[in-house]
Chain A
Amino acid sequence: GESVGLHLPTLSVQEGDNSIINCAYSNSASDYFIWYKQESGKGPQFIIDIRSNMDKRQGQRVTVLLNKTVKHLSLQIAATQPGDSAVYFCAENRGSSNTGKLIFGQGTTLQVKP
């Protein structure tokens, strides 16, 4: 089926280090992207979003970068903490920004070592 691709299935980082999770998308018409965090046994939790008219957006300890030229998205987590351990999904809103049909990647598991 449709999907957005992530580069690595598992990322292991040391507590306190910065984490970078990457995502590639295929539809150049997509204009809205979201990162979700999913902990075991829970639904996806909204982290941060970005629209295609932006290259970068910052939140609390997180930054999303969008490179439309190569259709690449990344999530940077500063000073990674044990509570950041989870599966991270990028999702694109396929088509116009008002459709609400999110296409998800397969996820990257972030493991934080104490």
Chain B
Amino acid sequence: DAGVTQSPTHLIKTRGQQVTLRCSPKSGHDTVSWYQQALGQGPQFIFQYYEEEERQRGNFPDRFSGHQFPNYSSELNVNALLLGDSALYLCASSFTGALGTQYFGPGTRLLVL
């Protein structure tokens, strides 16, 4: 049983560019949450998707958007990249009946130059 997978593993972009990160949830999970983890910090909640809709959102600007597909996989899009967007982006999946029990993928390391 595959766990949560994310792609790509690493990414380098320049300021002003746009980026798309991808996530496939653990088998049987229907909810995907995205987190941003700056170096030396704990993960910060960006948003959560369920039934192809954004269900709740953290304190992130509209430059951060997402999508969930019918197969429950998800994308995170960040527009107009800033240097401060450099971080590890984590995807976590869960089953809607047990939302707190989230399982994380390995993350995508984004570097903005």
Contacts and interface: CB of A to CB of B under 8 A. Distances in A.
A101 B35 CA distance: 10
B13 to A, nearest CB: 20
B90 A99 contact: no
B101 A43 contact: no
B25 interface: no
Given A101-B48, A107-B42, A93 B107 contact: no
Nearest to A104: B42
B104 A45 contact: yes
Contacts of A97: 99-100
A105 B40 CA distance: 11
A89 interface: yes
Contacts of B59: 1-2
Interface centre among B4, B42, B102, B106 (most CB of A within 10 A): B42
Interface residues of B, number: 27
A34 B104 contact: no
Tier of interface size on chain A: 20 to 34
Contact of A3 (B42, B94, B104): B42
A34 B101 contact: yes
Contacts of B102: 34, 46, 100, 102
Nearest to B56: A101
Interface string A1-12: 111100000000
B24 interface: no
Interface of B: 4, 31, 33, 35, 40-45, 48, 56, 58-59, 90, 92, 94, 96, 99-107
